Amino acid sequence: MPITDDMIIEATGELYSRSLRKVPEDAKAALAAAMQTETSETARQTLKFQLKSAEMAENKDSFVCSDSGVPVYFVKVGSKAELDCDFKASIRRGYETLVETIDPPLLKHVTNPITLERGYHGKDMPIVTYDFESGVDYVEMVCSPKALGSGRWAALELFTFPTLEEIETYILDVAIKAGAQHCPPVLMGVGIGGTFDHCAGLAKKQTLRPIGEKNPDPVLAAMEARLTKAINGLGFGPMGTGGDTTVLGVHVDFSSGHGFTPVAVCFNCWINRRARVRIWGDGRMEWSE
């Protein structure tokens, strides 16, 4: 049986709604682990309240944060998936339906950058990235809404044949500039290489990787551990009021490119909004996060 418009519409709304109400299990586990290692009492208490907020939102089925951000989706279509749907139209429809029906209602955060007018809808909303996955017969959708709080501190710079030291220094400096601002402890996504446009996507996709999952590339795994330790040594701490936990993790990926090497860095605030579903042709929807 093919995957239909109704299935995409349902998944689009449900993913956004879930991402606003439930902090992913891996993020909660990382916050709990940080409570064991924190040496600042203020920081430990702040981590405790972050976990309490996550728990209350789940129990009350309410939002963790009042800023629901803008809708951002990543779609992977399996090469063996059978589709009978207008994918783009259904995602738009799913988002429109969500805005009309979600309880509690969303605030108006979608902003026209030219006029600064705000509403629920706007040009190119939702923001969707499409990709393919070989050999599977499902469609996977991830929703990772983004707001100003952590979104505004992302950065990208172009280097020419940089050393690893130059790359890591840049990443550290981006973390210093963001400082206390992005609702730490954050998850940092880093992309290295490819092209300007591709590199930003690499960084963003690294924030969708589960926290605590070891990078299979030993060079990148060492880099992630090194950067995590370095940035946590800066002292900004949970909510930027001091402590040893500024990042829950740093996730790095790279792509080959030319001698010009973009390096992109982005942040997810501590609630790590991310919801995922796999949709099969028989109507099954497997939700995770």
Residue carrying structure tokens 């026209």: 112
Least Å from the CB of residue 236 to another protein: 5
Q: Verify binding: residue 108, another protein, rule CB under 8 A.
A: yes
* 3-state secondary structure at position 4: strand
Query: Which residues inside 199-218 make contact with another protein, applying CB under 8 A?
Result: 218
Binding test (CB under 8 A) with another protein, winner from 32, 84, 164, 214: 164
Mask 260-289, x = binds another protein (CB under 8 A)?
Answer: ---------xxx------------------
CA distance 128 to 130: 6
| 127 near another protein (CB under 8 A) | no
Per CB under 8 A, does 172 bind another protein?
yes
**Of 50-58, 71-79, 82-90, 190-198: span binding another protein (CB under 8 A):** 50-58
The position carrying tokens 């949709």 is: 279
User: What's the residue count for the chain?
Assistant: 289
Task: For 157-191, give the secondary structure using H, E and C.
Answer: EEEECCCHHHHHHHHHHHHHHHCCCCCCCEEEEEE
Q: Per rule CB under 8 A, is residue 168 in the interface with another protein?
A: yes
Site of tokens 């370095």: 230
Q: How many residues bind another protein (CB under 8 A)?
A: 58
Q: How far is CA 184 from CA 7, 28, 212, 268, in A?
A: 35, 13, 17, 9
The binder of another protein chosen from 6, 25, 101, 179 (CB under 8 A): 179
Q: Are the C-beta atoms of 248 and 227 separated by less than 8 Å?
A: no
Residues 5, 67, 137, 157: which binds another protein (CB under 8 A)?
67
